Amino acid sequence: MHALLQHDKQNQKDILHHTVALANEYLDAQDSFPPGRYIPDLVLEDLPEKGSSARDALEYFKNHYAAQITNSAGPRYFGFVTGGSTPAAVAGDWLVSAYDQNACGSNDSIAPQVERQTIHFFKQLFGLEDIYFGSFVTGATVSNQVGLALGRQWIGEQLGKDFSVEGSYGVAPVKVLSSTPHSSILKSMAILGMGRNMLIKVATLPDREAVDIAALERELQSAQGPVLVVANAGTVNTVDFDDLEAIGKLKSKYTFWLHVDAAFGGFAALSSRYAHLMKGINYADSITIDAHKWLNVPYDAAMQFTRHKKIQLKVFQNSAAYLGDPEQSPDYFHYTPENSRRWRALPSWFTLKAYGREGHREIVERNCDVAYSLGEKLKASADFRLLAPVRMNVVCFTLKNESITFDDIREYLNAVRDDGHVFFTPTLYKGTPAIRAAISNWQTEEADGQLAFDVLTQVYHAKKQTFATASAHTQTV
């Protein structure tokens, strides 16, 4: 064994002790650590021929990189839809690295059994019927990709083809109907060879992101052959929900695969206030739900669910002889894109076991309360206007200045970021340059929402003259 490896093996406890100390420095500073920052491109170094030790690497990281980490796991990071990591989830994730299990086999380790237990917890959490098969994948993008791959296989079978064996060449393109699909749907369509142009955008309800059911039915009536419908259980900009029950009932009249993208909206099922939004979820043929969003477990972790386990086996079966018969050994590498799988289920098991349904319900409802309160402040402000009602945990708004451009919004949010207290991301809502506040961290309280509003207001007033000058210049030109 190399001398450095031998040295570090003998000093493993000391290495972990100092690693914990560095992690605690970050966790202890989360209330004051900037949630967003600009980091210039790193000047790349050459790989050393000789190493030094794990402790030296840790010290180098501490001195050169640690202070530049973004506090995206903190209570005032409102960009994208980013959770944090509950204490229990962090404990579970540290053990994942220590145990370093390849969570694919059925009985050679407890790891895949714990994954099955965790999936069972989730089915109860989201109100899914027992028939659903589920597994962990890296994130909503891969979960959506799995769901669309299953839908494509199902469509082939409706046409008398086995796409997993014969391929889909020479067969009519698979059409996808959706009103406000997440960008990962288009990405998945490209990866799967379905083609981005095969997305048919269905009309939404007035002033909504939810699908117009009548418009969807017209598209289904005109479809020549089976299609794939992607429904939204929580859109990114406004957390709008398609009427899942109404869409599901259309399956008795038309031939389509129903995929529900419930990446973070699925957690509406935890609360009696919002559970009605998930009514009809059991009509879904496949479902996407993220864990590293509202469950607040470390990246990366998401789940995919389907009613069609046999179809999933056809798509993902691994045919290597040494892996055995999937009917006798239903290992996850026969049902997921990966053969090598991190034990992603363990942090989710830890946090579900530690805090239960009630603890995670409290996070969801508190986040929604903070979002609603922030929305009311923005609505009453002379500087901002809401672009949509606050339905759950996302606030979509813009500046009242009618001449504001998307570049202005970016510049404004850069200034908000540089203030060092709160972080937002820009968006476009029905063509309007806008700002999103996505509140999904387990630590976020009302005081964080108040501070966010104060910073938004102060920075806007500081930038107001800049916007006015730009507006005057635009009008002159």
pLDDT in tens, the chain (477 residues): 999 999 999 999 999 999 999 999 999 988 888 999 999 999 999 999 999 999 999 999 999 999 999 999 999 999 999 999 999 999 999 999 999 999 988 778 999 999 999 999 999 999 999 999 999 999 999 999 999 999 999 999 999 999 999 998 888 899 999 999 999 999 999 999 999 999 999 999 999 999 999 999 999 999 989 999 999 999 999 999 999 999 999 999 999 999 999 999 999 999 999 999 999 999 999 999 999 999 999 999 999 999 999 999 999 998 765 565 666 666 898 999 998 999 999 999 999 999 999 999 999 999 999 999 999 999 999 999 999 999 999 999 999 987 889 999 999 999 999 999 999 999 999 999 999 999 999 999 999 999 999 999 999 999 877 776 555 554 444
Tally of residues, the chain: 477
Measured CA to CA, the distance from residue 39 to residue 310 in angstroms comes to: 47
pLDDT score of 477: 43
pLDDT score of 18: 97
Measured CA to CA, the distance from residue 13 to residue 8 in angstroms comes to: 9
pLDDT score of 212: 98
Measured CA to CA, the distance from residue 34 to residue 36 in angstroms comes to: 5
Q: What single letter denotes the amino acid at residue 57?
A: A
Measured CA to CA, the distance from residue 280 to residue 233 in angstroms comes to: 11
37 by Cβ neighbours in 10 Å (0-12 / 13-18 / 19+) ranks as: middle
Contacts 24+ apart (CB under 8 A), 46-54: 51/4, 52/4, 53/4, 53/7, 53/8, 54/8, 54/11, 54/15
262 within 8 A of 289, measured Cβ to Cβ? yes
Measured CA to CA, the distance from residue 321 to residue 262 in angstroms comes to: 36
pLDDT score of 469: 59
C-alpha closest to that of 179 among 243, 224, 222, 223: 243
For residue 245, the 8-state DSSP code is H
**What's the pTM?**
0.95
Instruction: Give ∠ CA 48-53-59 in degrees, rounded to 5.
Output: 95
Tokens 């899942």, residue located: 244
84 by Cβ neighbours in 10 Å (0-12 / 13-18 / 19+) ranks as: buried
Enumerate domains of the chain plus CATH numbers: 3-40+47-71 (no CATH), 90-351 (3.40.640.10)
CA 383, chain centre distance (Å): 31
